[in-house]
Chain A
Amino acid sequence: MASSAWPESATPISGGEQRTVRDGGNLRLIDWIWTARGEVPLPDGLSADEALDRIEPIFAEAPRTSYVREAGTLHYAKKDPAAQDTLSAFEKGTLAVDVGAAGPVVRYRLTSRILLFCFLLPLLFIGFGQITLAAGEYQKAKAEAKAKAEPEKAKKDEKKVLELHPIDKMLGAPAPEKPKDGEGGSRKRKPSATAAYVFAGFFVILYLVGRFLEPWLVRRLLRRKLSGA
């Protein structure tokens, strides 16, 4: 479903700066979190148009991708890209043929919502951990108040000693443990923020992996396309 219709959300670079990729302005200090920048050298003798001709199929053949080419520059935007789309992590971007230090290059700037989301996820999960602890405190206080109000009922809830079926005894399954003093009848686990903190840690690692892996995959894809592979 490729089209040359320019998406409203991505404005083309105007005027004399058409062959440069926007630098992100004041956001530059933090936009490395969700932005991949780089350049790939053009093979010898390849013109700007030929280079973009080789890159264009990446966008023309991808579903739910719109793009526009103008004066040595290609802008694209993706809406709900397919899971197997080679650029699914980068929903918007600009690629332009430019002059690099050692000759012509394709310079690119791609932005990724999932990288930003993954960067923020550890904070979200630390927040979940705090909520878990607060909820646990609230429930504990409520249970204590209830136990004080109805001491006889709490005594009645004491756990019975359970026994195995004769078949299980014969087969040698360990007998159930007798409930320890003060255990009561509750099977409820103590609220813990550990799971939330473990997930926060996972997302820190995943962010670091993604921040290097995804730009590397983009670079590899562009190199392959430009070399005609």
Chain B
Amino acid sequence: MAGVQVGNRIIGADSPVTIGWENVPKVEGGPFKRAFFTWFQPTVLFALILFWYYAPNDIAKASTALYIGIGFKVFLLALEWVNPRFRSWQLTWKELVTDLFYVGLGYTILRVVDSFIGSDAIITAIQGSFDFGKLNWFTGLPLLVQAFLISFIFDFGQYWMHRGMHNWYPLWLTHAPHHYITQLNINKGAVGNPVELFLIGLGIGGFFDFLPRAFLLAGTFGMAVSTYQHINVRFNTPAWWRFIFNTTEHHSVHHSQDYEASRSNYSGTWIFIDRIFGTCVDGEAELLGMEGGRRMSIREAMHFPFSEGWKSIRARLGRRTTTGGFDDHAAIPAE
């Protein structure tokens, strides 16, 4: 496979990757279907922004956001059946059970762990120790600017954590199980080792104070943009959207079986962060995963970072032992 040169890198040498928006297929069908899958994403985003901007205080609550989020995901699951990007990514019963198991972990036991050792708990402890409250630098700004800052500060941190996971072996061990998914579906973002899910949720946003409504507006970017990272729906996403926001096309490149392609598109919401740091690759891929598309079981995903980490430590210690323990002198041949 020849691959395509993108910047200094050759993308698609190990596994097929489509590079360039002009080569990505468009939605096929009648005028209504094409219009729907062209305007759906921007319409939902702007409708939600307007809703959270103007909703009365007794409606603008986290519980409302939760119900809208669940309803939206169910709707997107239906869209996966109506207009799949790839038939080879169709949701099966087993995939649905597996995905919901990980989603369930995030809503339950991981939330408990987070309340003890998550970034908000750590930040509250730091603030308590040094006797300072939240920094109110941003509370005087317009709501949409505050919402952008909440989303951007978190995504900027996530970009570097994610990039770190692809470049530092101990962090990679926690992230690797997520890369064993072989298809994208709406809940696949939750699939992975719980240690990774904890690490990727760390952020410094808790140091700052924002208006409660700004959090709900920021959540809109998460729901109406980031959710599409792992969706099996073919959209005619507008060019401006693809320039600013992460898309399922970008994220399929990131999950490609091609090694170089997988080292791109690290951000969760704002793909322009990848553009700034030169890690953005515009395109899409169908063949996803690791080891030629081996689907990792839940059991293996749970122990992978620890069992692989232990194997690596043993291999390293073993090497040292065979070369004379901790003595760096080269062994002298017997003859």
Q: Which of B115, B211, B298 contacts A162 (CB 8 A)?
A: B211
Taking the nearest CB of chain A, how far is it from the CB of B260, in angstroms? 24
In the assembled complex, the Cα of A73 lies from the Cα of B328 at a distance in Å of 60
A168-B142, A173-B213 known; A157+B133 contact, CB < 8 A:
yes
Whether A80 sits at the interface, judged by CB under 8 Å, is: yes
Whether A132 sits at the interface, judged by CB under 8 Å, is: yes
In the assembled complex, the Cα of A160 lies from the Cα of B212 at a distance in Å of 13
In the assembled complex, the Cα of A8 lies from the Cα of B183 at a distance in Å of 30
Whether A32 sits at the interface, judged by CB under 8 Å, is: no
Q: Which of B104, B107, B183 contacts A83 (CB 8 A)?
A: B183
Taking the nearest CB of chain B, how far is it from the CB of A171, in angstroms? 8
Taking the nearest CB of chain A, how far is it from the CB of B194, in angstroms? 12
Whether A167 sits at the interface, judged by CB under 8 Å, is: yes
A128-B109, A195-B107 known; A174+B183 contact, CB < 8 A:
no
Interface size on B, residues (CB 8 A): 45
Contact across chains for A114 and B143 when beta carbons are under 8 A apart: no
Q: Which of A83, A172, A173 contacts B94 (CB 8 A)?
A: A83
Residues of A within 8 A of B300 (CB): 80
Whether A76 sits at the interface, judged by CB under 8 Å, is: no
Against B, the Cβ 8 Å flags (1 = close, 0 = not) of A113-124 are: 010011001000
In the assembled complex, the Cα of A168 lies from the Cα of B213 at a distance in Å of 11
Whether B23 sits at the interface, judged by CB under 8 Å, is: no
In the assembled complex, the Cα of A167 lies from the Cα of B141 at a distance in Å of 9
Residues of A within 8 A of B133 (CB): 157, 185
In the assembled complex, the Cα of A174 lies from the Cα of B101 at a distance in Å of 38
Residues of A within 8 A of B53 (CB): 171, 173
Contact across chains for A174 and B112 when beta carbons are under 8 A apart: no
A131-B112, A206-B100 known; A80+B54 contact, CB < 8 A:
no
Which of B30-38, B55-63, B239-247 interfaces with chain A?
B55-63
Whether B294 sits at the interface, judged by CB under 8 Å, is: yes
What residue of chain B has the Cβ atom nearest to residue A114's Cβ? B94
Against A, the Cβ 8 Å flags (1 = close, 0 = not) of B108-126 are: 1101100110000000000
Taking the nearest CB of chain B, how far is it from the CB of A137, in angstroms? 12
B residues 102-159 touching A (CB-CB < 8 Å): 104, 107-109, 111-112, 115-116, 133, 136, 139-143
A residues 80-115 touching B (CB-CB < 8 Å): 80-84, 88-89, 114
A129-B108, A162-B139, A206-B96 known; A135+B116 contact, CB < 8 A:
yes
Q: Which of B115, B140, B141 contacts A135 (CB 8 A)?
A: B115
A residues 167-216 touching B (CB-CB < 8 Å): 167-168, 171-174, 176-177, 185, 187-189, 191, 195-196, 199, 202-203, 206, 209-210, 213-214
A80-B297, A132-B112 known; A189+B62 contact, CB < 8 A:
yes
In the assembled complex, the Cα of A52 lies from the Cα of B318 at a distance in Å of 49
Residues of B within 8 A of A162 (CB): 139, 211
Residues of B within 8 A of A147 (CB): none
Residues of B within 8 A of A64 (CB): 294
Whether B257 sits at the interface, judged by CB under 8 Å, is: no
B residues 69-109 touching A (CB-CB < 8 Å): 88, 90, 92-98, 100-101, 104, 107-109
Contact across chains for A199 and B213 when beta carbons are under 8 A apart: no
Contact across chains for B109 and A131 when beta carbons are under 8 A apart: yes
A165-B141, A176-B212 known; A199+B296 contact, CB < 8 A:
no
Q: Which of B97, B101, B115 contacts A210 (CB 8 A)?
A: B97
Contact across chains for A167 and B142 when beta carbons are under 8 A apart: yes
Whether A139 sits at the interface, judged by CB under 8 Å, is: yes
Residues of B within 8 A of A206 (CB): 93, 96-97, 100
In the assembled complex, the Cα of A228 lies from the Cα of B307 at a distance in Å of 46
What are 19 A-B contacts defined by CB distance under 8 Å?
A64-B294, A83-B92, A83-B95, A83-B183, A84-B92, A89-B92, A117-B298, A118-B97, A125-B104, A131-B112, A135-B115, A162-B139, A165-B141, A173-B54, A174-B213, A203-B100, A206-B93, A206-B96, A210-B93
Binding site for B on A (CB under 8 A): 63-64, 80-84, 88-89, 114, 117-118, 121, 125, 128-129, 131-132, 135, 139, 157, 160, 162-165, 167-168, 171-174, 176-177, 185, 187-189, 191, 195-196, 199, 202-203, 206, 209-210, 213-214
Q: Which 10 residue pairs of A and B lie closest in terms of their CB atoms, listed nearest first?
A: A199-B104, A128-B108, A195-B107, A196-B108, A165-B142, A128-B109, A167-B142, A135-B112, A89-B94, A210-B93
Add 5 more A-B contacts to A84-B183, A114-B94, A125-B108 (CB < 8 A): A82-B293, A83-B182, A84-B92, A174-B56, A174-B213
